[in-house]
Structure formats: C-alpha cells, structure tokens
C-alpha cells in the first residue's frame, strides 16, 4: 500500500470514530445474568477390560494321523489333543533350525532312526550299539540346532491331553512315536506333519498354575495341593541330562495292585516293547521335554485314586513317583 493512501484511510477512520462518540447512547434494557447451564451428565464408568483369552489349537489324534492346522500364531499356545483313535497317543514338538525344512527332518532324522530301530528290534544290535549308530548317522544340525518344545503328553483313547507352550516363530515338526502292537512307530505310519508358527503373536496370557512341579535328573518335586478336579500344573525343567533323551513328565492312573515301577521300562522307546500299545496304564496327560530352564503348563482332571508321575527316559535313570489323590 502507498504511503498517501494509508494516511487517507487513517484520517477517515478517525473522523468516523469521533462522530460516533458525540452521539447520545440509547438506553439499554435491564440486564439479568444468564441462567446457569445444566452440568453435563457424568459419563458412565468404563467397564474393566475382559482378560485376554487363551489361544487354543485343537488337534485330533487318530490311528495314525493328526488333524491340525498348517499355521498357528506364536506366543502362549494351548494345544488340546483329542484322542479319537483306539491307541494311546501324544504330540511331540521339535523346532527346526531356520535353515532346515520338514523334508530335511524326515530324510535326515526319521529315516535313519527307523532303520536303526528295525535292526535293534530284529536283534541285529543291542541298545548301546543302537545309540552309537544314532550318533553317527543323525546329522550334526539336529544335535546342535533342533530344539524340543514339549507338547501334550500321553493320553488314552477317548480322552484329551492339554499343554500350554510358549512357541517362537519358525518351522516345527509334530509327531507321535508311540508304537503299534506290531512294533512300528506311529510317525512311520503317518503320524507326523509340519507346523508353521507365524511371527504374528496370539497375545494370549501365560496360564496360572495351582501346582508347581520341578523336574530334575533326580526326580519330581511338587508344591500345591492335588485333589479331585481340574488342575493346571507348571512344569519347571531345572535340570536335564548331558546326553540322551531329556526329562519329561506324564501322568498315569494306576489300577489296583499295579506297581508304578513297571511303567519305567515300558516308557523306554529303545526297549523292544517300549511305548507299544496297549499301554500298561491309563495315561491322562502331561508334557514332553524342553531344554533346561524351560517352562510348560499342562491341565489334567483327577478323580480320587492312585497315580504316578513318570518320565519317558531310559531305565538307567528311572524317574517315577507314585501319589494318591484323595
């Protein structure tokens, strides 16, 4: 704007304001204070957020196959294994190294294991030699990179085994290595399949246990009261053997007069009749091994009676403990 126009504008504005000030002001009506506005209604109290639900993966065990999803989310996963077959089954999880596939496992682990088993069963080698052969024929990546991740323990026909495991993303193998009455491993009959665990997390919470079970190479130590009804048991893997199969825990319901110690040789897969159906007791759940420091939860329903914690381990270090549920 030019300076002359600016001055002219200011002069006109000043005169207008002066004229307005000389005029008499009109009388205004009496003012009353405005009525107070009503206070807003209080917002309803927010309801507490519902607790996060468990992430349940249903798996059906048949003779001899698993019905299960191909992919699941990572984090705390509750596997609910329903045994719809006629034999005792379980679900064992192995996480593969990132550079290995399901086919690598079947060809490099399952095939030589089955070959050695057949030689052992035929009497062509003893257990010590079988162990040496496994060490020589199983590739090194299995011993150094594959990790056992637990899974629902032994369960009788018509029952359900439930275990909650914290899974990392990756490729896993699901298998059952119970044996048929003829002595063939269930996985060799088709009870083996891959499972992909995604990076997407389920967000499920860690379970709450009412019984703690500490597992070492010396045995089982429990805290908490076991009575009739449903219990969630936290298994703390505080110690594992330096070699061989790791410690796990399964729950057997004992018939009248049965000796719990008789379960130990049957649970040794390297015994000719080990893990062969029919089982000598009624199994109601448990969990498979994890590395030292691991934590798994499993849920079981107890009726009054005699039971045993028992580990699927060679009989050179038997782990079995009988207990009674009142």
Please, what is the average pLDDT of the chain?
A: 87
Q: Give the whole-angstrom CA distance, residue 251 versus residue 154.
A: 8
At 52, is the pLDDT very low, low, confident or very high (cuts 50, 70, 90)? confident
Tens of pLDDT, residues 223-276: 999 999 999 999 999 988 877 678 899 999 999 999 999 999 999 888 889 999
Tens of pLDDT, residues 205-216: 999 999 999 999
At 314, is the pLDDT very low, low, confident or very high (cuts 50, 70, 90)? low
53 Ramachandran zone, left/alpha/beta (phi>0; psi -120 to 50): beta
Residue with tokens 């048991």: 233
Residue with tokens 């379960």: 263
SS3 120: helix
Give the chain's domains with CATH numbers: 56-96+146-325 (2.60.40.420)
Asked if 214 and 274 touch (Cβ cutoff 8 Å), the reply is: no
Residue 321: phi and psi, rounded to 5, are -145, 120
| Nearest 10 degrees: Cα torsion 19, 20, 22, 23 | 120
pLDDT over 50 at 5, yes or no = no
């Amino acid at each position: 704007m030019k300076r002359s126009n600016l001055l002219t504008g200011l002069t006109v504005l000043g005169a207008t304001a002066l004229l307005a000030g000389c005029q008499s002001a009109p009388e205004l009506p009496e003012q009353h204070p405005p009525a107070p506005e009503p206070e807003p209604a209080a917002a309803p109290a927010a309801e507490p957020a519902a607790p996060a639900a468990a992430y349940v993966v249903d798996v059906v065990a048949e003779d001899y196959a698993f019905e299960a999803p191909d992919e699941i989310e990572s984090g705390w996963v509750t596997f609910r294994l329903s045994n719809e077959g006629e034999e005792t089954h379980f679900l064992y999880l192995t996480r593969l190294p990132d550079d290995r596939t399901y086919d690598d496992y079947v060809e490099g682990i399952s095939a030589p294991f089955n070959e050695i088993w057949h030689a052992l069963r035929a009497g062509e080698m003893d257990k010590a030699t079988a162990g040496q052969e496994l060490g020589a024929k199983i590739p090194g990546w299995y011993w150094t990179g594959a990790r056992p991740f637990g899974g629902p323990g032994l369960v009788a026909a018509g029952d359900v085994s439930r275990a909650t495991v914290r899974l990392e993303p990756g490729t896993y193998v699901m298998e059952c290595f119970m044996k048929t009455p003829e002595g063939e491993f269930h996985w060799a009959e088709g009870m083996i399949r891959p499972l992909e665990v995604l990076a997407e997390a389920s967000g499920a919470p860690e379970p709450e246990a009412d019984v703690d079970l500490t597992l070492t190479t010396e045995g089982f130590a429990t805290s908490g009261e076991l009575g009739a009804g449903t219990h969630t048991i936290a298994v703390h893997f505080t110690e594992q053997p330096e070699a061989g199969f790791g410690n796990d825990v399964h729950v057997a319901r004992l018939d009248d007069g049965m000796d719990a110690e008789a379960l130990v040789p049957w649970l040794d897969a390297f015994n000719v009749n080990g893990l062969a159906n029919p089982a000598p007791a009624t199994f109601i759940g448990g969990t498979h091994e994890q590395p030292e420091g691991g934590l798994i939860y499993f849920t079981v329903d107890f009726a009054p009676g005699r039971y045993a914690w028992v580990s699927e381990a060679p009989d050179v270090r038997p782990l079995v403990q009988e207990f009674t549920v009142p």
